[in-house]
Amino acid sequence: MVNSSSTFPIGGPQQHAPPFSAVQLDDPFWAPRQRLVRLSTLPAMYQQCLSSGRIDALRLAWTPGSRPVPHHFWDSDIAKWLEASSYALANQPDPWVEARMDEVIGLLQAAQQADGYLNSYVTSVTPTGRWTDLRDGHELYCAGHLIEAGVAHFLATGRRALLDVVCRYADYIASVFGSELGQKRGYCGHPEIELALVRLFRATGERRYLELSRYFVDERGREPYYFDQEAVGRTTPRASDSYYRRHGLRGSELRRYNQSHAPVRQQTQVVGHAVRAMYLYSAMADLAGETGDVELLAACQRLWSHLVATSLYVTGGVGSSAHNEGFSGDYHLPNADAYAETCAAVGLVFWAQRMLQLTADAQYADMLEKTLYNAVAAAISSDGKQFFYANPLASDGRAQRQPWFKVACCPPNVARLVGSLGQYVYSVGERHLAVHLFVAGQAHLEVGGRHVGMCQTHDYPWDGHIRLDLELAGPAEFGLWLRVPGWSRGATLRVNGEEIRVDGHLERGYVKLERTWRGGDRIDFDLPMPVERVYANPFVAEDVGCVALQRGPLIFCLEEADNPVALHQVCLPRSAALDAQFDADCLGGVVRVRTEGLVADVRDWNGQLYRPAHPVRLQRQPLVAVPYAVWGNRSLGQMRVWIRDAANA
């Protein structure tokens, strides 16, 4: 029985994600990206960590005056590289990678202090500063990433080397923080450890990690205000004081910046630093699921509703402003100046994934798809070695991916998400198997104690014909739920050749097929994929009078490489035909959209800058749009997602 109300179902989440390793990708879109991350991104990232001093920093050999001075959240980059490498290793054994990981794990073991503490920066650079700057110091944030790495390494290899390290660290943290007498009543300025601790609980079964997560989440934003208290008597600046001063972040805005402006259960609007927000809301959803906490779920749902109604880019990017690396007000969604940090998109995937397990509502799977195929995919270059930190939706030609960053959170975040993509494709409930994403490959799942093999075969997202083949040892009765994407219309379905009415079985975005399934059962699911025009709510000032193009889950954009004109001058008549064709030679094989737009005829301006009462003459201009996911992989040039809409042409 599926609970279709919007409040939390009694008894916990509706379904669970399978382990990432249950799904092997053989997908035209994601398999090459997963391979790219393994073969190109992760080795490049290791080199960057090595050459920048991040790995050496783990030796705790830094002395005052020597260079480079470690950065206070370098450990998190190492941890995310370890986590991403764990997924890669599970997908494809690689002795070289395993040896590098073992080396680094060895350094972490050696760097762990007798009491379990593990932070290379604090231990070697500010040894008296332990837990004195929770607002800016990122200690618990780094701990969270180490914990995630430990869990991932354990799940990927079955080995406990790093898991034991992070359990000891988590146990030590649990002794320091909490509401008992003598404990610090603090929490991290950058949420992360909260969701990591839930993962650690799930991997180990140790409930104390869940309790510690709940403590951190519920303590956040309470009075007396911890970040003020910890500053009393402080004589040195906190790690981000000068950054905040430079950005004019202070007072209540600074509290919103790290989501400590109110206890989380009272928060109603997405505010502040977007990555922090996404990680916090993910942890809230985790806790809601593990503890059946309907109040936390309700808070998540309120925050989600606010996000999707006011603050989401059409690409699935979030956090529009560089000012606070985050949310900047309802409907404020600048395009060329979009911040839309890669890590925030990754965080949105985390959050959506968790909401999806709790509610089994396809709106969350729609968001997974939108964000993965657009905001996340665009963040990494076609050679796997360059990355966007900010993800603009328009460029005058200057926006360009970079090989690395001083704060290098984004590259390994993409790597760990792509490496673990398998866990986002399906969910299993007690009596159902849900297909959320159309990602071709083999899955080995368990529904109601029975093994279910599932094979997806298709050219999605280039083509909407999805074939699913079931493998079962014997007949089994369960619900097979297929997501009907929010963007689709006119989906058709056949089971073993017999047509089934999609409308008749649709519930919360899924076609729900309840029957006795047998090995060899075949499902053909057809999603028509016309190119569609998308409009933004008129309150979005930047998009007024503009139109975007979407086909299937993909948002398209114009690039100068295909359209050698001033893109701001281009407008698209509503009558213009939109023709999609797969082009194997373009950008590794993508669907391109051809159409005909209009551009201003500048010849009759004679160099004038302004002129009166003289309508601008337009001329026809052939246009080619490519998926936003692959933009910026040719020569530097202009790009635009939102094209001017020639309303009456």
Q: Which residues sit at the interface with a copy of itself, rule CB under 8 A?
A: 308-310, 312, 314, 396, 487, 532-541, 544-545, 548, 550, 566, 568-569, 571, 574, 599-600, 602, 605, 607-616, 644, 646-649
How many CA atoms lie within 13 Å of 426's alpha carbon, on the beta-carbon side? 30
Strand 510-517 relative to strand 506-507: parallel, antiparallel, unpaired?
A: antiparallel
**Residue 559: CB minimum distance to a copy of itself, A:** 16
Burial class (CB within 10 angstroms; exposed 0-12, middle 13-18, buried 19+) of 614: exposed
Distance in Å, CB of 395 to a copy of itself, minimum? 12
The distance of Cα 288 from the centroid of its chain, to the nearest Å, equals: 20
CB-nearer residue toward a copy of itself: 288 or 571: 571
Q: Between 342-359 and 362-370, two packed helices, what is the crossing angle to 10 degrees? A: 160
Q: What distance in Å separates the CA atoms of residue 482 and residue 222, rounded to the nearest whole number?
A: 42
Pick from 284, 102, 295: which is nearest to 198 by CA? Answer: 284
- With left for phi above 0 and alpha for psi between -120 and 50, is residue 596 left, alpha or beta? beta
**Residue 65 Cβ, how far from a copy of itself at the closest point, in Å?**
22
User: Least distance from C-beta 403 to a copy of itself, angstroms?
Assistant: 20
To a copy of itself, the closest distance from the beta carbon of 352 in angstroms equals 15
Distance (Å) of CA 233 to CA 132, 351, 422, 446: 11, 38, 49, 56
> 111: which 2 tokens?
């760097």
Catalytic residue at 409? yes
Kindly write down the DSSP assignment for every residue of 28-77, as one continuous string: TTHHHHHHHIIIIIHHHHHHHHHHTTHHHHTTT---TT-SSPPPTTHHHH
Q: Kindly state the smallest distance separating residue 370's Cβ from a copy of itself, in Å.
A: 10
On whether the CB atoms of residues 320 and 327 are closer than 8 A, the answer is: yes
487 vs 114, 294, 300, 468, 482, CA distance in Å? Answer: 55, 30, 24, 21, 14
User: Do the beta carbons of residue 427 and residue 434 sit within 8 Å?
Assistant: yes
- Cα-only R_g, the chain: 25
Q: At its nearest, how many Å lie between a copy of itself and the CB of residue 542?
A: 8
Q: Using CA of residue 632, residue 642, residue 555, residue 346, what is the dihedral sign?
A: positive
The CA distance from 372 to 349, in Å, is 7
Minimum CB separation from a copy of itself for residue 525, in Å?
Answer: 21
Contact 561, 581 (CB under 8 A): no
Q: Which is nearer to a copy of itself, 231 or 618 (CB)?
A: 618
For residue 355, the minimal CB distance to a copy of itself (Å) is 17
* Contact indicator for 319, 344 with CB cutoff of 8 Å: yes
Q: Which of 49, 167, 188, 409 is catalytic?
A: 409
DSSP H or E segment with residue 101 = helix 95-111
Phi then psi for 388, rounded to 5 degrees? Answer: -85, 135
Between 442 and 569, CB nearer to a copy of itself? 569
DSSP, res 372: I
How many angstroms separate the CA atoms of 80 and 275, rounded? Answer: 15
In whole angstroms, the minimum distance from the beta carbon of 398 to a copy of itself comes to: 11
* Residue 325 designated active-site: yes
Distance CA 225, CA 117 (A): 25
- Minimum CB distance to a copy of itself smaller for 7 or for 537: 537
Catalytic, out of 325, 369, 559, 560: 325
Burial bucket for residue 251 (CB in 10 Å: 0-12, 13-18, 19+): exposed
* Smaller CB separation from a copy of itself, 506 or 534: 534
Burial code (b: 16+ CB inside 10 Å, e: under 16) for 151-185 equals: bbbbbbbeeebbbebbbbbbebbbebbbeeeeebe
Query: Cβ of residue 458: shortest distance to a copy of itself, in angstroms?
Result: 23
Active site residues: 325, 409
